[in-house]
């Protein structure tokens, strides 16, 4: 029932230890082979139950460690992306930068940004469009072939 020879040897030794420890309880009127078989059978069942629990524990540990790794990786990516975004924002002219920060980072509406900046809503909209072009050019200058994807990922960090 157990295919691994090292495990068989261990179970075999354990079987004889159990028999030795229970030698006073053995009924010599009953067939010894049936008693021996029943103990061995129960040990094999216990072995497979333990193996199943161990495998389940390993799976849980693998999943937990993978989740931890993914969280660390996401945190590092987010920090790197935010740094890259701040560098790109710093290249914008002041009004464009302010409009971008208000609308995209602070998530204010174009009307709210227009009131804060003292300009029209259409001007804010134009600044946002130009800021997106600025970001796209900045990422293309960084020799990043996936600049549109990177830009989306960076903006989703906020």
Whether residue 98 sits in one domain with residue 153: yes
How far is the C-alpha of 27 from the C-alpha of 12, rounded, in Å?
A: 21
In terms of domains, do 54 and 6 share one? yes
> End-to-end CA distance of the chain, in Å?
58
* 57 compared with 153, residue with greater pLDDT: 57
Assigned domain for 122 exists: yes
Residue 132 domain-assigned?
Answer: yes
Tally the domains of the chain. Answer: 2
- CATH number for position 151: 1.10.10
**pLDDT classification of 154: cutoffs 50, 70, 90:** low
Could you give phi then psi for residue 92, rounded to 5 degrees?
Answer: -80, 150
Per-residue confidence band for 139, with pLDDT thresholds at 50, 70 and 90: confident
Q: What is the pLDDT of residues 90-135, one digit of tens each?
A: 999 999 999 999 998 899 999 999 999 999 999 999 999 999 888 8
Q: Is the per-residue pLDDT at 153 higher than 70?
A: no
Q: Are residues 65 and 122 in the same domain?
A: no
In a domain, 84, yes or no: no
What sign does the CA torsion over 93, 95, 101, 107 have? negative
Weakest-pLDDT range from 2-16, 30-44, 68-82? 68-82
Residues 96, 146, single domain; the answer is yes
Cα–Cα nearest to 87, from 154, 149, 146, 158: 154
Q: Are residues 50 and 109 in the same domain?
A: no
- 63 and 12 housed in the same domain: yes
Alpha helices in the chain (DSSP H): 5-21, 32-90, 94-100, 110-117, 121-141, 147-156
Each residue's pLDDT tens digit, 16-64: 998 899 888 888 888 888 888 888 999 999 988 998 898 988 888 888 8
Structural domain boundaries enclosing 37: 1-71
């Amino acid at each position: 029932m157990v295919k691994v020879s090292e495990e068989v040897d261990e179970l075999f030794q354990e079987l004889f230890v159990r028999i030795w420890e229970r030698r006073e309880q053995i009924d010599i009127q009953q067939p010894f082979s049936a008693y021996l078989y029943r103990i061995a059978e129960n040990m094999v069942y216990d072995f497979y139950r333990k193996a199943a629990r161990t495998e389940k524990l390993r799976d849980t540990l693998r999943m937990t460690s993978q989740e931890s790794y993914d969280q660390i990786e996401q945190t590092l990516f987010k920090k790197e992306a935010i740094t890259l975004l701040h560098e790109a924002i710093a290249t914008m002219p002041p009004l464009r930068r302010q409009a971008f920060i208000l609308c995209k980072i602070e998530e204010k509406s174009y009307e709210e940004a227009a009131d804060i900046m003292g300009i029209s809503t259409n001007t804010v909209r134009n600044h946002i469009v130009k800021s997106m072009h600025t970001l796209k050019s900045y990422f293309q200058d960084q020799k990043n072939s996936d600049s549109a994807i990177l830009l989306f990922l960076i903006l989703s960090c906020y």
